[in-house]
Structure 1
Amino acid sequence: MSDGTISKDLVIVGGGPAGLSAAIYASRSLLDAVTLEREALGGQVILTSEIDNYPGVPHADGFSLVDAMRAQAEDLGATIVMDPVDSVERDEATGRFRVSAASASYDAAAVIVAAGATPRHAGFEGEERFAGHGVSYCATCDGMFYRGKHVFVVGGGNSAAEEALFLARLASRVTMVVRKDHLRAQAAIVRELEENERVEILLSTSVVALDGGELPSRVTLRDNVTGETRTLDYDEGSFGVFVLVGRVPETGLVAGLVETDDAGYVVTDDRMATATPGLFVAGDVRSKALRQIVTAAADGAVAATSAASYLGLPVEG
């Protein structure tokens, strides 16, 4: 285009498993597409040390799995650019999209948003103060810093349970702090936790405050049934808190173009289509029952074939 805007059939926003899967299927559908990633290909997946539930690739680490996805996409002709996207807009007159990134702007007939989600904060006093210095949101990233120490895991879902089991390999003791009166994790994972002698599970309990100097030395817990609180004192830096209470979907780019559910995830149909024609969503940003690598990859495949069909091109059957 005359103003320097790059014209594409499809722009894919996000280079995680959903975005890379979409890039693979877009290439196979002969779409002129570009995949834009803000920080690092793979997103949260590259922080995972071991993946044992992706079919056909047992005991893979996240970085290697994502690198294989990238290589496959590029071998098929996909274009992947490291460039953060600032906005996604739709021209109502033409039905085309303008995707503005830091280094370039794109004019596209269709867009797939696979921007993922970021860790949700628990909201206790001192959480922001000690973030990165006693409070972490990724056990596989920061677990080594707490080798031989006591760690608290805030959360009761699958992610929290899996991370607690990982931390139990490193820490001297793991205390799960669960707000509800039960764990929401899968039964098999709960059984592993209950059988692990390093793991303690505190139900109906919340962390209400952290305090200390440069590093935390005191944690205050509340019994959510009685309302009573108790404070535990430690040597500074001898414990840590891992907050694993879910994620916040990255929907800001398309906030005015999509419908969201009560948790803020984008509502789509089974073709990954949103309320806006030509705009598709895939992966963790989408409202669905299960958020795993395999479902993200499936979402990306469906979104890309749906985009090709939207553009009137033949798709794989």
Structure 2
Amino acid sequence: MTSEKVSCLIIGSGPAGYTAAIYASRAGLNPVLYQGAQPGGQLTITTEVDNFPGYPDGVTGPEMMIQFENQARRFGTDIRYGMITEVDFTSYPHKVIVDGKKEIIAESVIVSTGASAKWLGIEGEERLNGHGVSACAVCDGFFFRGQDVVVVGAGDTAAEEASYLAKLARKVYLLVRRDEMRASKIMQKRLETLPNVEILWNTETVKLNGEHGLESVEVRNNKTGEETVLNATGFFVAIGHKPNTDIFKGYLNMDETGYIQTIPGSSCTNIKGVFACGDAQDNVYRQAVTAAGTGCMAALDAERFLMEHEVEVMLEESAS
């Protein structure tokens, strides 16, 4: 197995990873960035982005990520295809395996592997993703002003998405598989006060219809078996996200769902020299702009760590 030493390794290539790369490059850290299985992250499956500052006319997700990548390259980031398949954070410097065949010895590691939305796996869902189907109401709700939309889920996230959409859409159908919700009581009370939100209990989605965009949603009552067609142009899946952090388990502190825990006010993890940013550690905001902000934090934290570590090494050498 070949081996390579790097000063700063960035794992992941969404807004967080590319922003970290821009800052790390400008700081002279000579970062190496591995793009992972989905170069550009979740934004590459987002059609229109209208809420990122600096794009007054909007931009497509893939176009934005290409621009982020080009900016990182301009400052000297070594951007590579490849998947990190294994890590070893038990000693310093850190060891990382790429595609099972190359070892990277890294003095600092920035984890920006993001999170993936959980999907239902029903007919039409993948085909219409970005064309009426979404996993983020805050990101895409604006495009459905005055229209009828459907939200799927029973937890706080689903309740929040439905409440947010109620301010924009004409009608919001909230599909709940059981006869009760997991959402907090206060969130459920809030839903009850919204006149344009209708909760359909014991209801599951069967199929999404539409050629070039969503036109209707076929649902079934799992108690009676009755099927209904809801005319809607927006379909929001709010059944949760899964952070892409499995390979770090056993090394980095995480919450019960796998989000990496960082020291408040920083991107620092429980392992020295390892930093986390973006949706891999943010289970609250999950926006491109907040991901970019934490990417900046991670690069600055890594720069500070490397400077302090260099001073420590110099002091140890002078003492000996």
TM-score w.r.t. length of structure 2: 0.73
User: Which residue in 2 is equivalent to 1:300?
Assistant: 295
Equivalences for 1:204-223 in 2 at 5 Å?
Answer: 205-208=201-204, 210=206, 219-221=219-221
Report if the CA contact (8 A) 1:136-1:243 is conserved: no
CA deviation map 1:71-90 (0-9, x unaligned):
11101001100101101112
AA matched with 1:28:
R
Matched, 1:18 2:13: no
Distance 1:191 1:75, change over 3 A: same
- Between the aligned partners of 2:71 and 2:53, the Cα distance in structure 1 is 17
Equivalences for 1:65-80 in 2 at 5 Å?
Answer: 65-80=64-79
Report if the CA contact (8 A) 1:167-1:174 is conserved: yes
Cα offset, 1:264, TM superposition: 2.5
Q: Which runs of 5 or more structure 2 residues have no equivalent in the other structure?
A: 174-195, 208-216, 310-320
Matched, 1:86 2:81: no
- Between the aligned partners of 1:198 and 1:240, the Cα distance in structure 2 is 9
- Between the aligned partners of 2:85 and 2:37, the Cα distance in structure 1 is 13
Counterpart of 1:297 in 2: which secondary structure? helix
- Between the aligned partners of 2:11 and 2:26, the Cα distance in structure 1 is 18
User: Which residue in 1 is equivalent to 2:193?
Assistant: none
Report if the CA contact (8 A) 2:9-2:108 is conserved: yes
Cα offset, 1:134, TM superposition: 3.4
Report if the CA contact (8 A) 1:117-1:247 is conserved: yes
User: Which residue in 1 is equivalent to 2:95?
Assistant: 98
CA deviation map 1:266-308 (0-9, x unaligned):
1102220101111110100104531111111111111011111
Distance 1:178 1:86, change over 3 A: closer
Cα offset, 1:208, TM superposition: 4.0
AA matched with 1:190:
A
Cα offset, 1:197, TM superposition: 6.0
Report if the CA contact (8 A) 1:8-1:34 is conserved: yes
- Between the aligned partners of 1:177 and 1:85, the Cα distance in structure 2 is 33
User: Which residue in 1 is equivalent to 2:199?
Assistant: 203
AA matched with 1:179:
A
- Between the aligned partners of 1:137 and 1:113, the Cα distance in structure 2 is 30
Equivalences for 1:94-133 in 2 at 5 Å?
Answer: 95-102=92-99, 104-121=102-119, 127-128=120-121, 130=122, 133=123
CA deviation map 1:102-137 (0-9, x unaligned):
15321101111100011224xxxxx55x4xx33449
User: Which residue in 1 is equivalent to 2:316?
Assistant: none
Report if the CA contact (8 A) 1:117-1:285 is conserved: yes
User: Which residue in 2 is equivalent to 1:44?
Assistant: 42
Counterpart of 1:5 in 2: which secondary structure? strand
What's the % identity of the aligned pairs?
A: 28
TM-score w.r.t. length of structure 1: 0.73
Which segment drifts farther, 18-27 or 101-110?
101-110
User: Which residue in 2 is equivalent to 1:248?
Assistant: 242
Cα offset, 1:174, TM superposition: 3.8
AA matched with 2:50:
D
User: Which residue in 2 is equivalent to 1:282?
Assistant: 277
Aligned residues: 274
- Between the aligned partners of 1:253 and 1:284, the Cα distance in structure 2 is 15
Counterpart of 1:311 in 2: which secondary structure? helix
Compute the RMSD of aligned alpha carbons: 3.6
User: Which residue in 1 is equivalent to 2:304?
Assistant: 309
Counterpart of 2:168 in 1: which secondary structure? helix
Q: Which runs of 5 or more structure 1 residues have no equivalent in the other structure?
A: 122-126, 144-150, 212-216, 223-227
Distance 1:259 1:197, change over 3 A: closer
Distance 1:206 1:304, change over 3 A: farther
